[in-house]
Amino acid sequence: MTPSLTVQEAGRRAGDVLAEVERTVIGKHHQLEVVLAGLLARGHVLLEDVPGLGKTLAARCLAQALGLDFARAQFTPDLLPADLTGSFVYDQRSRDFELRRGPVFTGLLLADEINRTPPKTQAALLEAMQERQVTIEGRTFVLPEPFHVLATANPVEHEGTYPLPEAQLDRFLLRVSFGYPSADEEHAVLTGRLDRRREEVVLDRVTDAAGLLAMQEAVEDVEVDESVTRYCVALSTATRSHPQVLTGASPRGSLALVLVARALAVLRGRDYVVPEDVKAVAVPVLAHRITLRPELWMSDASTEQVVAAVLAQVAVPATLEPAWPGGGRRPPSAGRCWSRRRRAPWRSSWATRCWWCWPHRWRSAPRWGCCTPPVRGPGSTCCSTTRCCTRARARRHGCGSRTPTRPSTWPGSAGARRTWRCTPPTASSGPCGTRGAVSTSRWAHGGGACTGPPRRRWRSRRPGAPGGGVRWR
């Protein structure tokens, strides 16, 4: 039975696998992170780059760190489908045909130089990659779980090669290019080989096949908001209407974006997906699913440039606000109460919030005259961005009593100029009702903030505080 893991435990274990592989494969953190995310998303990966950049080494190291059975198939022009899937061989002692399994019956299959074998043999992988099974002489055999294919291809040499058809390219969840290392990284490769004193590489096993299945199950618990899924659909749709594209990404491309973004979120220690996860995997997921127009084949245009243009064109969804006690959105002023020097547990910024309102005593806010109970909508409830309300201050600094409109640079606003206006005590437009002042500018989440009128300046005791250490009280 596969042990269950939480998202955080799966992220830590995947990070250990990545760190173990990076002991040998140097300078390819992002590429290895994307490849491991593809494996966590139960997909297959195509490593396409020039020879000698560590593609085969990376596949072998991943198999050792993940504790998977490893098999390598060298694709040549005379390779037959039976050489890959296996065949029945007559046994004279038992006078019966027995199955001699091919290299496809493994946990991680390295299909080396997959573009050097004819399409007939390439097509033999389609059923194994998609259905996790093979058919030999009319009999179907289920492949062991987990089963993943890491294929390598050389995009430079075209003589004697067979380019992968679009139907098989679409079966690969990702297409990753390693690229040349920097001078320091290449020197580290040489130093590591000299220190190792042997050619083969032996890595510690971090997990096993059951552990990889548990991490894949943990990926299913990652939250994906509707705005993120619509962003993935918008990216795939934009590739179909691009002027340089003949055939855009299919709905399978949108699904692949969501699946790989979830796995990348687990690798980065989160149980939810943000648009930055989608951006990080957009090129490896979508570039090989796009076909350029024939008249552009001799130009410098590439599918990677198309995906980059689409990323710059499609609007990114806005950041969502986490829930806070009482429902509704969190107030824009949150983090530290200046008078009581108390830090809110969910944010540590210099933007302030009255401690009496959240998280402990917001229900007693009307008694203190500090904040109103939380309300839904963009107008959050907060008493003061620069001080903690007390009963005496609430009476002395009621809204509308003093201090007309004035510009100020408040803590946590990154130097932005914000204008504050006091509303009359009987106004109903302010979130705080009769005791509030509403910001005339829009915050990042689109709402206003309540504040009492600033009274006098005092110097912060914290050295190096934002704004030169001068605060309004």
Q: What is the CATH number of the domain that holds 233?
A: 1.10.8.80
Model-level pTM?
A: 0.68
Considering the domain architecture, whether residues 37 and 137 belong to the same structural domain is answered as yes
Considering the domain architecture, whether residues 392 and 359 belong to the same structural domain is answered as yes
Question: Could you give the CA distance from residue 55 to residue 150 in angstroms, rounded to a whole number?
Answer: 9
Question: Could you give the CA distance from residue 313 to residue 332 in angstroms, rounded to a whole number?
Answer: 29
Q: What are the phi and psi torsion angles at 36 (to 5°)?
A: -65, -35
Residue of 109, 30, 17, 24 whose CA lies nearest to 65: 17
Question: Could you give the CA distance from residue 77 to residue 285 in angstroms, rounded to a whole number?
Answer: 28
Among residues 296, 319, 342, the one where a domain terminates is 319
Task: Let me know: does 318 contact 367? Beta carbons within 8 Å.
Answer: no
Task: Let me know: does 271 contact 222? Beta carbons within 8 Å.
Answer: yes
Task: Let me know: does 19 contact 28? Beta carbons within 8 Å.
Answer: no
Residue 460, classified by CB atoms within 10 Å of its CB into exposed (0-12), middle (13-18) or buried (19+), is middle
Residue of 404, 406, 400, 450 whose CA lies nearest to 425: 400
Question: Could you give the CA distance from residue 111 to residue 242 in angstroms, rounded to a whole number?
Answer: 33
Considering the domain architecture, whether residues 195 and 249 belong to the same structural domain is answered as no
Angstrom distances, CA of residue 465 to CA of 388, 416, 462: 18, 16, 6
Q: How many domains does the chain have?
A: 3
With H, G, I as helix, E, B as strand and everything else as coil, classify residue 175: strand
DSSP sequence for 321-383: PPB-TTSSBPPSS-SEETTTTEE-TT--SS-B--TTTTTS-GGGHHHHTS-PPP-SSS----S
Among residues 221, 241, 259, the one where a domain terminates is 221
State the pairing for strand pair 108-112/70-74: parallel
Considering the domain architecture, whether residues 125 and 269 belong to the same structural domain is answered as no
pLDDT of residue 243: 92
pLDDT of residue 124: 84
DSSP sequence for 21-38: HTTTS-S-HHHHHHHHHH
CA 261 to chain centre: 4
Considering the domain architecture, whether residues 408 and 431 belong to the same structural domain is answered as yes
Among residues 268, 285, 319, the one where a domain terminates is 319
Question: Could you give the CA distance from residue 76 to residue 54 in angstroms, rounded to a whole number?
Answer: 20
Considering the domain architecture, whether residues 337 and 296 belong to the same structural domain is answered as no
Which pLDDT tens digit goes with each residue over 352-398?
A: 333 333 343 333 333 333 333 333 333 333 333 333 333 333 344 44
pLDDT of residue 157: 72
Considering the domain architecture, whether residues 260 and 194 belong to the same structural domain is answered as no
pLDDT of residue 94: 87
Considering the domain architecture, whether residues 306 and 354 belong to the same structural domain is answered as no
Q: pLDDT > 70: what percent of the chain?
A: 66
pLDDT of residue 1: 56
Number of helices (H), then strands (E), in the chain: 14, 18
Considering the domain architecture, whether residues 216 and 102 belong to the same structural domain is answered as yes
The residue range of the domain holding 103 is 1-221
Residue numbers in the chain where pLDDT is lower than 50 = 323-473
Tell me whether the omega of the peptide bond preceding residue 407 falls within 30 degrees of 0, making it cis: no
Considering the domain architecture, whether residues 198 and 234 belong to the same structural domain is answered as no
pLDDT of residue 229: 96
Considering the domain architecture, whether residues 355 and 298 belong to the same structural domain is answered as no
CATH of the domain at 212: 3.40.50.300
Considering the domain architecture, whether residues 101 and 241 belong to the same structural domain is answered as no
